[in-house]
Amino acid sequence: MGEPEAVTSITPVQSEPAQPLRHGVRLWIRQRFWAGWGWAKLLLPKSWPTAVGSAFACIAVLSLGVDSLGTPVIAAVLAILGLVPLIGDWREVRQDLRDLYKLDQPIPDVLVDGDWQLIRCSQGRVIASPSVDRNLDRPIVVERRPFVLPPDLAAIKPAVIALARSKRSRAASQPFDGLNVRLCNDLDPAGGEAWLQPARYFDTMASNYLAGHRWWSRRLRRVVADVTRNIMTDSGRLLPLAQSELANQIGISTIALTEDGWILLVHQGPAARSSGGLVAPSGSGSLEPQDITGRSRLADVVAAGMERELREELGLISAPMRQIRIETEVVGFGRWLEKGAKPEFYGISRIHAPLRDLDVRIDLSERQFVSHHLRIRPADVRRLLAGESFEALGQGVASVPLELCLRHLRVAES
């Protein structure tokens, strides 16, 4: 890595994020713009002749003038000529989609050292360490240069993104290439710095989210991508993050308890990439660069990101709701095997208000990711704290992040 930018100022986590929350129509417009721009960036290398030809066609027609007898004929000829490269590009994209297909290759259990342990959930497995969980408050170092995919994954990235777009639900918007934060090194139980680096969401789709499959090219007649080598060594041991070439963007999840003992949860919608159709924590998503602003400690950065996600997914974004204080504690860390062993943090958020005072709603920006909210009664919360499984409540199936958050909540409340 290049010369890092050490963060020196310390700002404690506050009840409000460092930057205003983005929500409503403004966020929707921004997401749609970046979705279109991300798609354009993938097509421009192949379709630039079409764009240039169309521009010259418009200039030629305007220069001839609408009164020119040959204008309609010239415009039609230029339009047909402009379609020629477009048809070629369309055929090439279709060939790429037919060429790449996946073969199931589930990630096996990995060998770990020290007090690292394999936690089995109903929907996946997480590697965690109690020693690391007790020492999450550490300084951060921010790498200036953004993450770059290795050549083999970069080569199939356009096809992977196009394939994801072609198979998306009609109710879901196109994925957009948002900027997230990755973890570059392992968290030493004894302490030390946490190295962070910007990474794009499409890089995660073309790396971590390919885990569990071998990607085969019919044209080349060989495997063109297998991320297992970035998850475990030949001897079956978990590969350190510092040696992984995957995007490894940081996942964040927190479970919220109200002042009167209720728990608020989110039933994920079909557009949710990691836990679609499952019950997720009160707030879950990825760490973003804005969460780092003004902060120098890992626990503060992660807690700020958790609260941002919680407010967005529970809809606590109106002016009165922003005045309600939320205290978030980062209580756990793990690596999710089914997601390419990507780093995940877990938290507990205490909302300083009773449920009746909360205006919980699904914001426009979250409608494709949040199906509905679940309000878990205090009596059922006690059942969960006593060790009863979430499925016993009859409220749906718990996602991996929710199971881990509940696991840490039981420890905190015991």
Instruction: Decide if 372 contacts 360 (C-beta within 8 A).
Output: no
Domain locations along the chain: 5-28+248-413
Instruction: Give the pLDDT confidence score for residue 96 in this predicted structure.
Output: 61
Alpha carbons 311 and 316: distance in angstroms, whole number:
5
Q: Measure the CA–CA gap between 188 and 135, rounded to whole angstroms.
A: 9
- Of all residues in the chain, the percent with pLDDT exceeding 70 is 73
Tell me the one-letter amino acid at 378: P
**Whole-number average pLDDT of the chain:** 82
The arithmetic mean of pLDDT across residues 36-40, rounded, is 50
As a whole number of Å, the CA-based R_g of the chain is: 24
The pairing of strands 140-142 and 194-200 is parallel
Mean local confidence (pLDDT), 334-362: 96
Tell me what pLDDT residue 64 has: 54
Model confidence at 221, in pLDDT bands (50, 70, 90)? confident
Separation of alpha carbons 200 and 34, rounded Å: 12
Q: Write the CA distances from 287 to 30, 155, 203, 326, 344, integer angstroms.
A: 18, 26, 15, 18, 10
What is the pLDDT at residue 277?
Answer: 85
Contact 410, 387 (CB under 8 A): yes
pLDDT score at 257: 97
Distance CA 102, CA 217 (A): 9
pLDDT of 342 above 70: yes
C-alpha to C-alpha distance for 118 and 107, rounded to whole angstroms: 13
Is 282's pLDDT higher than 90? Answer: yes
- Tens of pLDDT, residue by residue over 223-279, are 888 899 999 999 999 999 999 999 999 999 999 999 999 999 999 877 677 788 899
Q: Which of 16-30, 72-86, 257-271 is most confident?
A: 257-271
Distance CA 337, CA 341 (A): 4
State the CB neighbour count (10 A cutoff) for residue 332: 25
164-168, 250-254, 327-331: least confident range: 164-168
Tokens of 17: 């994020």
- Give the confidence band of 61 by pLDDT, cuts at 50, 70, 90: low
Does 41 score more than 70 pLDDT?
A: no
What average pLDDT does this structure show over 370-393? 94
- pLDDT at 392 exceeding the cut of 70: yes
Q: In what order do the strands lie in the sheet with 100-104?
A: 100-104, 213-217, 222-225
Amino acid at 70: G
Res. 159: pLDDT tops 90 = no
Place of tokens 């050490």: 6
pLDDT number for residue 27: 44
pLDDT at residue 275, rounded to an integer: 80
pLDDT at 194 over 80: yes
pLDDT for position 28: 44
Tens of pLDDT, residue by residue over 127-144, are: 999 999 999 999 999 998
Q: Report helix angle 400-413 to 378-385, nearest 10.
A: 90
Distances (CA, A) of 363 to 14, 155, 304, 366: 23, 37, 20, 5
d(CA 109, CA 130): 19
- Going by C-alpha positions, the residue among 366, 349, 367 that lies closest to residue 358 is 349
With contact defined as beta carbons under 8 Å apart, do 282 and 381 qualify? Answer: no
Confidence band (pLDDT; 50, 70, 90) for 22? very low
Per-residue confidence (pLDDT) for residue 176, from 0 to 100: 76
Residue 218 has pLDDT above 90, yes or no: no
149: three-class secondary structure by DSSP: coil
Confidence bin at 19 (pLDDT 50/70/90)? very low
pLDDT at 269: 78
- The mean pLDDT value for 74-103 works out to 61
Burial 262-299 (b: 16+ CB within 10 A, else e): bbbbbbbbebbbbbbebbbbbbbbbbbebbbebbbbbb
Comparing CA positions, the residue from 229, 217, 124 lying closest to residue 163 is 217
CATH of domain 5-28+248-413: 3.90.79.10
Structure-block tokens of residue 267: 């039933």
Give the integer Cα–Cα distance in Å for 86 and 68: 28
What pLDDT is attached to residue 4?
40
pLDDT higher than 80, residue 343: yes
Q: Which of 19-28, 163-172, 191-200, 324-333 is predicted least confidently?
A: 19-28
User: Distances from the Cα of 134 to the Cαs of 185, 195, 214, 326, in angstroms?
Assistant: 18, 19, 36, 22
Tell me: pLDDT of 73 over 90. no
pTM of the model: 0.79
Q: Give the range among 26-35, 49-58, 69-78, 270-279 with minimum mean pLDDT.
A: 26-35
Q: Residue 163 — pLDDT band, cuts 50, 70, 90?
A: confident
